[in-house]
């Protein structure tokens, strides 16, 4: 039996939540290993729609869920999310949800700094969600973060807040924002601590026991490879490593434990916020993809930019992400198009390129080189068997496999759990 690690292979919003939920019924534990409540995973189960940000998608299936040390946790957002899904009938108790004791916390001052800096950038905004993710990761690396375990010790909170406020109030004052008072922050943390601490655990020990018992683990990534802080379209990226290699670090397990790496791709391409997007469409086709695909951010509500599938980017994502197989989602959004284009390369100042350059200036000059494929008129929505797909859809999928160099082993043809075609079992690979 193999563990599976799920990561996005474009710019996020590929439908990871649905795929993780579909796989979760076959595992014992689901682990979030990076990101924060800037992630948004939407799960559709029958008539119920669950929108998750911090909670692992396995919570819907009642699986043991772990928020790993690589996640930055806003305690207020976590408790609000727990309350929200409980109101929908889900059970969330310390028996099935564990939060790593060494996970860094997002505080109100992180949110304030995030928003103040983004405002100060003016027309050069990065497109952050304004939820304090970046500043919280900065504090972690600078060794001044307050972690979940610190909520149990007032003395530790006292001196850590002194160091945090020395740094953050200086920055906030420079940006013309109101500084924070220590006593108010301390009171906030002391109030919320008893609500969070029951979920706290040495999660690396739990996962070690799970591995020794040869139980299955599903590692759930957030965002996507092209938003990775090292390998994405920097600086228009998130503040963590989104590649599968970070699953071990962010969950506190051996890298040998991450198992089969399943990359999630959408049948076309979308992006939220700023940053390069070579295949972006500004015409009726692009607007049609957005409307049919309901392309609005789960967390931000922002409209997503839409474009043709970029095989160059996904091939790169598969390379640096260590992807063994792919899950293709939202195939049905392409139904009815006369022709479908796929980016197979780039042109930059007359020179052919087979990958996106790292330079922002060069990225802005890149033009996509397209291959045109025949579309299909038959609907693919809800199809659950490969042989029932239109022949043109089969050809499209096979051509993507050729261009990326990785097999597409799973297809999603709708939002519901059952709208899925399994071509190869990732747990048996």
Residues marked active site are found at 13, 41
> What count of other Cβ atoms lies within 10 Å of the Cβ of residue 151?
22
- Contact between 68 and 247 under an 8 Å Cβ cutoff? The reply is no
Which tokens sit at 117? 């800096």
The DSSP 8-state label assigned to residue 260 in this structure reads E
Contacts of 318 (CB under 8 A, 6+ apart): 9, 263, 326, 404, 405, 406
DSSP for 363-422, please give it: HHHEEEEEEEEE---S--TT--SGGGS-HHHHHHHHHHHHHHTS-EEEEE-SSBTTSEEE
Cα torsion for 185, 186, 187, 188, to the nearest 10°? 50
Quick check: 298 and 51 in contact, CB under 8 A?
A: yes
In whole angstroms, give the CA distance from residue 167 to residue 184: 17
- Give the H/E segment covering residue 30: strand 29-32
Ranges assigned E (strand) in 79-228: 97-100, 200-201, 217-220
| Beta pairing, strands 64-67 & 29-32 | parallel
| Cα dihedral 412/273/364/226 (nearest 10) | -50
Q: Which of 197, 196, 262 is nearest to 225 (CA)?
A: 262
């Amino acid at each position: 039996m193999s563990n599976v690690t799920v990561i996005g292979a474009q710019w996020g919003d590929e439908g990871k939540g649905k795929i993780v939920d579909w796989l979760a019924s076959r595992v014992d534990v689901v682990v979030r290993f990076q990101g924060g409540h800037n992630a948004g995973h939407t799960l559709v189960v029958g008539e119920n729609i669950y929108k998750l940000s911090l909670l692992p998608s396995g919570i819907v299936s009642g699986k043991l869920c772990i928020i790993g040390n690589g996640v930055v946790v806003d305690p207020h957002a976590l408790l609000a999310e727990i309350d929200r899904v409980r109101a929908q009938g889900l059970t969330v108790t310390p028996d099935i949800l564990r939060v790593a004791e060494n996970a860094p916390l997002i505080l109100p001052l992180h949110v304030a700094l995030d928003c103040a800096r983004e405002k100060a950038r003016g027309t050069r905004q990065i497109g952050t969600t304004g939820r304090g993710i970046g500043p919280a990761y900065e504090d972690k690396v600078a060794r001044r973060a307050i972690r979940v375990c610190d909520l149990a010790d007032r003395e530790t909170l006292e001196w850590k807040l002194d160091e945090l406020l020395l740094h953050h109030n200086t920055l906030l004052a420079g940006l013309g924002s109101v500084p924070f008072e220590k006593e108010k922050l301390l009171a906030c943390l002391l109030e919320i601590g008893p609500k969070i601490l029951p979920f706290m655990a040495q999660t690396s020990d739990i996962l070690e026991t799970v591995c020794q018992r040869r139980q299955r683990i599903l590692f759930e990534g957030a965002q996507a490879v092209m938003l990775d802080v090292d390998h994405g379209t920097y600086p228009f990226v998130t503040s963590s490593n989104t590649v599968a290699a970070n699953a071990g670090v962010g969950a506190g397990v051996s890298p040998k434990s991450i198992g089969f790496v399943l990359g999630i791709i959408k049948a076309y391409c979308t992006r939220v916020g700023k940053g390069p997007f070579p295949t972006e469409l500004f015409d009726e086709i692009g607007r049609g993809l957005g409307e049919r695909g309901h392309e609005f951010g789960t967390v931000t509500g922002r409209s997503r930019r839409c474009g043709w599938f970029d095989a160059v980017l996904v091939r790169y994502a598969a390379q640096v992400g260590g992807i063994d197989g792919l899950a293709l989602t939202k195939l049905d959004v392409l139904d009815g198009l006369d022709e479908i284009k796929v980016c197979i390369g780039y042109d930059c100042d007359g020179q052919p390129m087979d990958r996106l350059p790292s330079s922002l200036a060069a990225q802005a000059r890149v033009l996509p080189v397209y291959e045109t494929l025949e579309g299909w008129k038959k609907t693919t929505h809800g199809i659950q068997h490969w042989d029932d797909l239109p022949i043109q859809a089969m050809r499209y999928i096979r051509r993507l496999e050729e261009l990326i160099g990785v097999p597409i082993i799973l297809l999603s043809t709708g939002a519901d759990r059952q709208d899925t075609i399994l071509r190869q079992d990732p747990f048996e690979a």
